[in-house]
Structure 1
C-alpha cells in the first residue's frame, strides 16, 4: 500500500516542482528582457546596470518627473480655485460677477 501512495503522489510532486522551476526561469527571463538587474537571495543586485544607457534613462525619467510635479502643482492651484468657487456662498459669487459687469469709473 505504501508503494501505491508513492506512485500516486510522485507525479503530482514532480509537476509542482517543474511548474515552480519554470516560473522562476520565466520571471528571470522577463527581468533580463526588461532591463531589471538580477538579484541574489538577499535581494541585492547581482549585476546592476551602470552603463550610459541606464544613466540616460534616469535623466529622462527625472526630467519627466519634474515636469509632472510642476503640472500637478498647477492642477492643485486650479482645483483650489474651483473648490473656493463651489463652496462660497452663492450670493457673494453673484455679487462679484455683478461688480465685474459694472463699468469702471
Structure 2
C-alpha cells in the first residue's frame, strides 16, 4: 500500500467514520448528548419527563395548600397562647 494512494485516503476516512460511530454509541449508552455531523449536540430525550414534571407540579400545589392551612392553625394556636386566661378558656370552649 502506498502512502499517497487512494486506498490510504479511503482507509483514513473509514477509520475516522468508525471512530465517530463508536463514540456516539458509547455516549448514547451512558446518557450523554449525542454529536451530529456538524459538531452540534442532540440531547437524549426522556419520554417520562413530562409526566414526572406534571406529578411534581401537582404535588407542589397540594403541599402549598397544606402549608397555608397549617400556618392558619399555628396562628390560631399562637393567639390562644398569648391571650389572657379567661378569653383563652372561652375560645377553647367554643372550639369544642
TM (norm. structure 2) is: 0.47
Larger radius of gyration: 2
More strand by share: 2
Which structure has more relative contact order (CA 8 Å, sep 6+)? It is 2
TM (norm. structure 1) is: 0.43
